Structure formats: structure tokens, C-alpha cells
A and B are shown apart, each in its own frame.
Chain A
């Protein structure tokens, strides 16, 4: 039987090609299962660049939904806490020109701020607790609330709901604990020719 097949050129050609196709089909089928991609991994990478303040100033309920929205085509300049450096990092990752921060979603502030509740004025309404995306406000109904300063990201979201306006955003004082080297301003200095227009994408 086997000899018959080998002697018949058409049969052997058919068997060889069909056999090869089946083999590669099996390998690719296995690979499709073994290397299946859950979700979109680029979302993870965008999510790690975003500042994780979960402030919602971009219009999405948190950083991860915004990362998903960027993958789906939303603008990358809606994150005030991250500021221009985050926009530049996102632009580098996605290989698109870096736009300016969209003022509509808030402005980037130079100083880090933290919320402070004037405790004798607090009526214990819990509205700021519900607004806080970081669970950084401690308190209960009709009890005085206070902010856990370490957890507060300074996103401003608790200021608006407070009915008695007892929340202040105070700048974090620079002391030995809070001080850090200033980050170099990205691309403010054009040292070499290839620095030119790197992020604006003109004439590249």
C-alpha cells in the first residue's frame, strides 16, 4: 500500500502537501489557544503611565477606564494630575504627537495639594466621603470627618459637594520629608537637532 502511494506521483504530492498543511494547522491551532491574549495589553501599559489618582477629572470613573478610552481613540490630554509629562510619556508610547493639556478638564498645578477639613465647621453629612475616589476621608454620619493626608491625591473632588464649604485645598509644605529634586522640564531645552519637534511631530 505504502509503496503504491510512493510510486504514484500525484498521490504522494497530495499526501505530502495535505500532511504539511494539517501539521501546521495543528501547530497554529495549539498556538492560538496557548498564546491567547486576554484583554488588550496596551491598556495595562497606559494604565501604569497614568498617575493612579482615580480623580475622574478626565470624565471617566478612574484611570483604568480612561486607559481603555485612550485605546478606543480618546484624546490623551485629559489628565490634569499627570500633567504634561504624562501626556509626553503617553505620546511616546502610542507614537503620536503630544498635545497640550486640555484646560476643560482642569489645570495642572505646580504645587502638590492636600484637602483639609475645618473640623469645627463640619456637620457630618458624609457627602465628601462619597465623593472621594481614594477613600481618604474618614468619618460617619453626624460625626466630624477628617482627611488622611497620606492618602489624599489633591484632586479637588470633595470641595464641590461640601454644603458648608469647610474643605480647603492647602499646598503641601516643603519640609525635609516632602522635599524632592525637581523633575527636568521635558523638552524645554533643545540641545541637539533631533530634539526639535520630537513631540509636536512637525517636519519629522
Chain B
């Protein structure tokens, strides 16, 4: 794998095929945790960690257990099992090492379990027949893309909270409109890389 391919995968997952704004995966944390910049950064960090780890684990499970036994049809349920276990482990680890982050993210950690971006990255990895390194990079790149838009979006929403927004658009409505505009902006990256 050349260095070119390396950057191509990163560029493709972060900008061109951004999980949130182009593939529309993981929208609930995108809307739910973006009210405050601090919690968005925490959520971004936790998701990056979980997503990279989950794509590694799911690749190993798929490559060493499911494929040799001809059990490809069990992928979805096996991946859900893997992701749930990984998130639970991260939750225990975080509760011990960073109680404050745990307090902020406590509600959202179970949300990572059912974050469709995490399952999506695992299934897309098998669909695209990535090898181990590519899977890891794909998961990490996807998570970086997710973190990028989450932090950008929460920074915008913090400004929006103080801005003079017309009454019918206040709160979630202006958030949705902003997300739509961001998605349009990210479509400008189409054609940059495939």
C-alpha cells in the first residue's frame, strides 16, 4: 500500500464520503451532543476511539471467525455484539480514569453502541473487501470526519444560541437548517477523490 493510497482513504472518508454529511450515518449524536462545544469534543474523542477499535475488532472477527466458517450471513449480529462489548469496555475504562468526561458523556455512551456510523463502518469495510490496515484506516478516517463535523457544528450552534434568530427558527429548527447547509457545502468535495 503506497502513501498515496493512505492519503486517498483518509481524504475520502473525512471529506468526500463524510459519514455524517454525505452518507447520513450517525445523525443522532450529531444533533444530540452538539449543543456544547466541550461535550461535542468529548463525544468526538470517545467516538473516534470506539470506531477505530470497533473496525479493528470487527475485521478480526470477520476475517478469522466468520469467513473461514462460511458464516458471512451472521455479520450484522456478530458486529453488534462486538461493538456493544467494546463500548461497554470503554465505558468502564472511562468511568475509572476520567469521571468528569464520564459525567458529561454518561448519557451518550450507550448512544455510541447504537450509533449507526459505528456499525456502518464495520459493514462497509466488509462490503469494500478492505484488508486489515485499510479497515483500521477507514474506521479512523470516518471517525475523524465525524469528529470534524461534530465540532464544527457545535461551535456554530454555540454562536447560534447567542444569535438573534427569528422565533419560528429557534432551537432545533435552525440546527437542522445549518446541518443541511453544511451537507451542501460538503458535497462540494465530491470529485476530489473517489
Summed over the interface, the residue pairs from A and B with CB atoms below 8 Å come to a total of 63
Q: Mark B49-83, 1 if CB is under 8 A from A, else 0.
A: 00000000000010001100111001001100110
B178 at the interface (CB under 8 A from A): no
A1-48 residues at the B interface, CB under 8 angstroms: 6, 9, 12-13, 16-17, 19-21, 24, 27-28, 31-32, 35-37, 40-42, 45
- In the complex, are the beta carbons of A20 and B65 less than 8 A apart? yes
- Bound complex: CA of A24 vs CA of B83, how far in Å? 10
Q: A20-B61, A21-B81, A204-B161 are in contact. Are A31 and B99 (CB under 8 A)?
A: no
Task: Please give, as numbers and ranges, the residues of chain A lying within 8 Å of B92 by CB-CB distance.
Answer: 28, 31-32, 35
- In the complex, are the beta carbons of B95 and A35 less than 8 A apart? yes
- In the complex, are the beta carbons of B81 and A37 less than 8 A apart? no
- In the complex, are the beta carbons of B93 and A20 less than 8 A apart? no
- In the complex, are the beta carbons of B99 and A42 less than 8 A apart? yes
- Bound complex: CA of A24 vs CA of B77, how far in Å? 14
A194 at the interface (CB under 8 A from B): yes
Q: Mark B98-112, 1 if CB is under 8 A from A, else 0.
A: 011001100000000
- In the complex, are the beta carbons of B89 and A28 less than 8 A apart? yes
Task: Please give, as numbers and ranges, the residues of chain A lying within 8 Å of B93 by CB-CB distance.
Answer: 31, 35
- Bound complex: CA of A45 vs CA of B98, how far in Å? 11
Cβ-neighbour of B89 out of A20, A27, A42, A193 (below 8 A): A27
Taking CB as reference atom, which chain A residue is nearest B81? A20
- In the complex, are the beta carbons of A28 and B74 less than 8 A apart? no
Q: A13-B74, A45-B99 are in contact. Are A193 and B162 (CB under 8 A)?
A: yes
- In the complex, are the beta carbons of B82 and A20 less than 8 A apart? yes
B128 at the interface (CB under 8 A from A): no
Taking CB as reference atom, which chain A residue is nearest B158? A194
Q: A20-B81, A31-B89 are in contact. Are A45 and B100 (CB under 8 A)?
A: yes
- In the complex, are the beta carbons of B95 and A16 less than 8 A apart? no
A64 at the interface (CB under 8 A from B): no
A196 at the interface (CB under 8 A from B): yes
- In the complex, are the beta carbons of B85 and A28 less than 8 A apart? yes
Shortest A9–chain B CB gap in Å is 7
Shortest A34–chain B CB gap in Å is 8
B153-181 residues at the A interface, CB under 8 angstroms: 158, 161-162
- In the complex, are the beta carbons of B96 and A35 less than 8 A apart? yes
- In the complex, are the beta carbons of B81 and A9 less than 8 A apart? no
- In the complex, are the beta carbons of B78 and A17 less than 8 A apart? yes
B88 at the interface (CB under 8 A from A): yes
- Bound complex: CA of A28 vs CA of B85, how far in Å? 7
Taking CB as reference atom, which chain A residue is nearest B68? A6
- In the complex, are the beta carbons of B96 and A42 less than 8 A apart? no
Task: Please give, as numbers and ranges, the residues of chain A lying within 8 Å of B104 by CB-CB distance.
Answer: 95
- In the complex, are the beta carbons of B95 and A42 less than 8 A apart? no
Shortest B96–chain A CB gap in Å is 4
- Bound complex: CA of A20 vs CA of B70, how far in Å? 16
- In the complex, are the beta carbons of B162 and A194 less than 8 A apart? yes
Taking CB as reference atom, which chain A residue is nearest B99? A41
CB pairs A–B below 8 angstroms (20 shown): A6-B69, A12-B69, A12-B71, A13-B71, A16-B69, A16-B74, A20-B78, A20-B81, A21-B81, A24-B82, A31-B92, A31-B93, A35-B93, A35-B97, A36-B96, A37-B99, A45-B99, A45-B100, A93-B100, A196-B162
Seed contacts A20-B78, A45-B99; 4 additional CB < 8 Å A-B pairs: A12-B70, A20-B82, A35-B92, A45-B100
- Chain B contact residues, CB within 8 Å of chain A: 61, 65-66, 69-71, 74, 77-78, 81-82, 85, 88-89, 92-93, 95-97, 99-100, 103-104, 158, 161-162
Q: Which 9 A-B pairs have the closest CB atoms?
A: A41-B99, A24-B85, A35-B96, A35-B92, A12-B69, A31-B92, A193-B162, A31-B89, A16-B65
